[in-house]
Amino acid sequence: MNEHRITVAGVAVDTRHWIGGERIASAGTFTDVSPIDGSALGEIARGGPAEAAAAVAAAKAAFPGWAATPRAERARILHAIADGVEKRIEELAIVETTDNGALLRSHRRGVMPRVAHNFRFFADWLLTLDHEDFGTRGHTNHVSWDPAGPCVLITPWNAPLMLATWKVAPALAAGNTVVLKPAEWSPLTASLLADIAAEAGLPAGVLNVVQGHGSEIGDALTSNPDVRRISFTGSVPTARRIAESAAANLTPLSLELGGKSPLLVFADTDLDLAVDLAVEQYDNAGQVCLAATRLLVEESVAEEFTRRFVDRATALKQGDPRDEATDIGPNIHSRQLEKIDGFVQRALASGARAVIGGHRGDGRYYAPTLLTDVRQDSEIVQEEVFGPVLTLQTFTDEDEAIRLANDTRFGLAATVATGSRERAERVTARLVAGTVWVNCFFVRDLQAPFGGSRLSGVGREGGTWSFDFYCDLKNTVTAPNGWKNHG
């Protein structure tokens, strides 16, 4: 029996780090626990400064060879990784559901296919990446994207593999090497990704995976002078610490942070569509950074909207995420559950009213909650809860709706429900958000820029924007008549 291998839902997972093409153990471990029932899944290698240094050194050593690999060959290997993901979709889905509690049906049908698509998209985009040459007083300007170097990618627990590969795929496509640090609450599919990448022929050291607590390994990764890019998805306080750590080396950062996004419901909308959009915000037990947790509803339709919303929301089935009939699973960790309940109880104590929910369920489940009678300056309206908790406020006209929508420190996303194209154009032009959806939600195309405004982030990734971040852009200017021969 391999002491460093656990079995999760019938799938073998190595619990060690993946550094320089080898499995590396640590002296210490941490316990990975399933949010479904609180059971211990296994002991995971707990990295620290030594493992961080080893992983960055491996990435640095592998960088020249991978950077010099022709684009077509890099793309071929990325497609091979996608092939490996597709062959193991069922295994990846059940392991991630067990590890982070998200719905198995979503992992099977949407999330894991998207993981494979992440690799295919950036492999294909790499082969088309180009900028037309342009002239300056007879001289020729040629723009190129040069690999930047080792990248540290720090990813969250709410969609572990999908969000990790959203960063890993473009970083590798660009010719960089990677040190991936998954969240300690959901580390298992990152380990499986290392296996898949190795089987696909990715050279040793090009992708490294180190596990551990951010407080113990994070600074050693982000302060390393050999790291040339850092991409992080997570909380604002952690982002501040990463930025401080990276500042000494002026390491470029891409930060996708929290949100407190609004859903604006105008009286001219299809009300059933608006209710569907609102109920969708409970997806993944509310653990979605893009979720429109602030429902802003035009006063004249607020009563009817609320009635229909309650009918729909109370029909949702909360339970085991492995059950195909389940709509809402557990929250990730007991600490997260405490945080969610703290927000709700403080709001209720301050005068908010729970239309539905407002309390815990069994285990790590929190009842889907809708709070009304909330003040705009209250904590529950201004701060990210990251749980199945929505607030409802009313407005009387467009100006008030936009004022309420923009009145937070965040600017990640916004959703607008209206039957008027003209109103949609007016309103979206005035909203502060990195992404705005009109009469839809969570439609994502990898060629679009993605990121947030204000405290919701720094920079944009997606399509060419990803390569702009993961590369050093170079402009080569050539004189027309400087050649001694024409051979």
Residues annotated as catalytic are 256, 289
Distance CA 274, CA 265 (A): 7
CA distance 57 to 63: 10
Question: Measured between alpha carbons, how far is 355 from 361 in angstroms, rounded to an integer?
Answer: 16
Residue 431 tokens read as 């909203």
Structure tokens at 75: 């793309």
**What's the farthest any 2 CA atoms get from each other in the chain?**
83
Nearest to 242 by CA among 153, 147, 333, 182: 153
